[in-house]
Structure formats: structure tokens, C-alpha cells
Amino acid sequence: MAARSEQLQPSPSFSKVPQATQKLIGAEILLHCLVAEGVDTMFGMPGGVLLSFYEALPNFPINHILVRHEQGAAHMAEGYARATGKPGVMMATSGPGATNLVTGLADAYYDSIPVVAITGNVPSGLLGNDAFQEADIVGITRPVTKHNIIVRRAEDLAQAIKEAFHVATTGRPGPVLVDIPKDILLASAEFNYEQTEIDLPGYQNPETYTAEDIEQILSLLKEAKQPVLLSGGGVINAGAHAEVTAFAERFNMPVSCSLMGLGGFSATHPLYMGFCGMHGQYWANIAIANADLLLVVGNRLGDRQTGKTDRFARNAKIVHIDLDPSTLQKNVETFLPVQGEIKSIFTQLLAKTEDMAPFSESLNSRPQWFETIDSWKTRRKPEVFPDGFLSPQHVIERLFHWMPEDGFVTTEVGQHQMWAAQRFNLSRPRSFISSGGLGTMGFGFPAALGVQAAFPDKTVLDIAGDGSFQMTLQELATARDHGLAVKIAIINNGYLGMVRQWQDKTWDRPSQSRMTSPDYTKLAEAYGGVGFVVNHPDEVDEVIQKAYAITDRPVIIDFRVKEKADVYPWVPAGGANEDMLTEDQNS
């Protein structure tokens, strides 16, 4: 035992990355690498194969958030990354610890989120022998990571970590996993991070757009009478919101955002039409359907965005701009696919259009285009609810109304997520954080904890469904232990609401979608938080303000809303966006 302690004795300069070559054990090398990559916060849970790492961890300037389930660690790392733009880091032990990360890695993969997962594994000599808590996590996660690797030598560990952060954060961002056997964390190797080189000959992020592409976009803009810009999550990832906003302003062009694009264009801007897609604003979808030019920027055009693809923007010449060439011409045939870095492309477009005289004819048509869009807005009747009825839509509107401008909103997945997207009213990129491509129930609450860990002094709200929240509510203990004073607004309708809506409208009967909930006020108190119940519209504003004012513990607000409120507009599966169902048609 004494020999083991001596072997794990920390090196004398933990707080600084060594400037010269030193001989360190793998666990120390890993921690020095994380510090060198700027990691200040990570999320994880120890296990037997990671004990050398956790022995050394207290000597390093890294805030480790101890989770209650590894899936929570993955979503917290996602929330941290989505809010900061920096890579989120998660840690899990071998076997079930590592496999519990898979859902979060898949979620990050679909939504292009830079996270680095570090997993321990059984000693190298036991790999492939069905050892206790062994799992081929590299093989398991290959379809849902941008890159993954198992480290076979301590000498290769620093390079693996440097390459992991490089791949996660360059090109189209995404998740990377580094699996480290127990003996590699204990083995000694020489370490000098400055001299560690990246060697990824097959990894490139070429830009293929040309000057001709820029000129063709400008030529199309001269002809367009009814243009629309569709802003996606890639605009946020690229840090290109300022350039895209300036471009839209210059061309007086209406803008709609995808779910992942919310915040990339200010919701308070007069050019903003709103959220689009399956549950998007009616007029935004109709405007896209009637556009003669559609600029799709940083959006993979998934099925929830497009509806029936052969009728998506069928009157428009579609220009699709994206960094990832695999998204171009994949789901929708476009007139002009342009592959390249969004910020660079829009910087060039702005530089080429300082003189707007060539576009005067197009710009002269814009008032009529906005009048037409406004006419689609007036066709929609306002939502009216009986006196005393607590509607989920009203609750979410008031949550946004009282939200500080510098606050953050996360969501779970379901009806509440779509109502929140429709009513989003913040003006900053990275202020709305939701699970898009994978649609992961249980995402929002741990993601909110990751955001709060990054911004401890900001208001962070999770808009939750009673179904989603119950999947990861054990992380209330994490919130309490680390002083993460998130607010959880539960839109409690007693159902798996989106499932029930589909069952009611497209099948014969609801089945297995009714749910019961615990007493959320008692649950909050049990975990050291504060709980409220709201049953009447007159209570909504007062309770929200009280909740936002609490800054030292987590808060749950249980909004008891109408059980069978439905999300509209709604494009049923296989339909075109312009054929969306509305409240008027289903009252």
C-alpha cells in the first residue's frame, strides 16, 4: 500500500502545465492536458479504474461537478458548451459508467456540440476478456462521435487529448471520446504539452466556396422580390450572428430561425418572423413556402424543418450555406450549395454590397412582401382561454416576460419545448438551449446545471414537462451540493403531452401516456430547494418573480395546466409545412 501511495504522489507543480519535459503518471498527464486546454469545469463520477485521476484531481484548478448519473454529466457538459462555446468535458468510469454517456454523446452529435468524453477502462491486459465492467465504448460510440480513440500507451496520452479538443472544436463541432485503460493512467511517461503535435492526416476542414459562388448569391439577390433567410444553429456555432444580422438588415430581408438557430438572430428584431418548421409560426412557414429566394444558413434541413421535402420552399431558388459538405444536397435539392465557413462568407457578402444601388429594384419590392407576411399574421385568431384556466402558453409567455435579458433558458423535449420555441423572446445567441436532432427527454434540467456552472450569477431557467423532468430529477442533489440555483418550471399536464396529442389526433386511443407526478414542493424541499404550486392565472406572475429572486438554491414551480392543451400550428407526419393545422381548424 505504501508503494502504491508513493507511485501516485503528485508532482510538485500541479497548478501549472510543465514548461519542460517531465516524467509523470498518466493521470497527471491527463490533468495537465485539461488545464492546458483551458478546462475550468468538468462533470463526472468516479469509479474503480479512475481512482488515480481522482487522487490527483484536488491539486489542479478544475471545478469538478459530481453528478448522480453519468447521463446527467453528458447533458451538463452539453449545456456548458452550448452556453459558452467552449468544449464541455465529461468523465465516466468503465462499463456502465461509459455506456451511460451514450445518449448525451448522440445528442451532441446531432446538434453539433463540442464535448470531450473521457472514460476509464479495464487494464489493457484484460481488454477483450469480458473483465468486470468492461465495455468496448469506442466501438459502441463510433456512430455517435466525430472521433474516438482508445489510448494504448501513456506516451500517446497527451497527443490523444490534444487531438480530441482540436477535432471537437474545429470544422463542424461535435463529440469526441478518449478511452483510457487503468494501467495507462498509472504508467509513467515523459510529458511536454508544448511539444505535443497533432497528427491527423485524414482530418481536414477545407473551404470550397469560390468567388463565383459569392457573385451568384449577389446575382440572385438582385432578382429576388420575396426573399427569406433561414438561420440555423451553424450561425451560432460560427459566431456569425453579427454578420448575418447586418446582412439581413442591409437587404431588408425577413428572417426565421430553426429550433437550434434560436438566439442566432434577435427575437426582438423587427425583421424576425419567428420559429419555423413542424410547430413553427404559421406566417413564417407560409413565407418560406412563398419565397422566391431562400437563403438557408447553418441548417441541415432535417425532416422536422422541411416537412414534405418535394414541397419545401418549392417556389424558391434555395441557396444552402453550410460548413459541413455532408449536409448539402442531402435532404433537399438546392439551387446553389455553398460549402464554407459562415462568418467568412457573410463577411465577403457584406464587403461586396457596400454599394446597394444594384439591388434597388429588389429592395423596392420589399414593402409589399412585408405587407403580405403581415396579412398572414392577421388571419390567425389570438388564443383565447376561459377565465380561470391556466394555459401552458400563457405560463411560458410570462416566464419569458420576467426573464432577465442576460438569462438563459433550457428546455426538455415535448409540447412545452415547442411552446417555448414559439414564444422565445431573447436577443442573444446561446441564450436558448434545447435538444434538437435527437429530441432527448431529460436533457433540459442537467443542461441547465451545466449552464449555471458556467454562469453562476445569471438566471438559468429549465422549461420542463412532467414526463421529461422525472427522467433526470436526481440531479437536484447535484444542484444542491454545488449551489446551482436553477429554476425548473414544470408544465404539469399529467401526460406525456406530445405522445398524447399524436395519439388523440392520429390514432384510436391514448395508451400509456397518462402519468402521475410526485409532490414537487416536497421533492424540492427534500433536496434542499424551494417549491411552488400554481393553479390559477392570477398566481403566475407573483410566483415567477419570487422564483427568479431566489439565488442560493434550486427552485421548482409546479404549474398545473390544462391536461389536454395541444401544440399548434402542427404539420402531421408526411405533410408539407404550408398545410399545417392550426387552432382555427381544430377548435
Q: Which of 70, 243, 341, 578 is catalytic?
A: 70
Q: Which helix (H) or strand (E) holds 489?
A: strand 487-492
Is residue 132 part of the annotated active site? The answer reads: yes
Q: Which three cell numbers stand for residue 343?
A: 462568418
Q: Which of 91, 403, 498, 580 is catalytic?
A: 498
Q: What is the Cα–Cα distance from 193 to 472, expressed in whole angstroms? A: 37
Fill in the DSSP letter of residue 237: H
Q: Which of 132, 204, 354, 371 is catalytic?
A: 132
Q: What is the Cα–Cα distance from 118 to 148, expressed in whole angstroms? A: 10
Q: Which of 22, 133, 474, 503 is catalytic?
A: 133
Fill in the DSSP letter of residue 309: G
Fill in the DSSP letter of residue 201: T
What value, to the nearest 5°, has the Cα angle with vertex 317 and ends 314 and 323? 110
Q: What is the Cα–Cα distance from 359 to 531, expressed in whole angstroms? A: 57
Q: What is the Cα–Cα distance from 502 to 414, expressed in whole angstroms? A: 11
Burial state string for 335-352 with b = 16 or more CB within 10 A and e = fewer than 16: ebbbbbbbbebbbbbeee
Is residue 23 part of the annotated active site? The answer reads: no
Q: Which of 55, 182, 260, 441 is catalytic?
A: 182
SS (H, E, C) 434-460: CCCCCCCCCCHHHHHHHHHHHCCCCCE
Q: What is the Cα–Cα distance from 70 to 43, expressed in whole angstroms? A: 9
Q: What is the Cα–Cα distance from 227 to 273, expressed in whole angstroms? A: 13
Is residue 498 part of the annotated active site? The answer reads: yes
How long, in residues, is the chain? 587
| Residues annotated as part of the active site | 70, 132-133, 182, 498
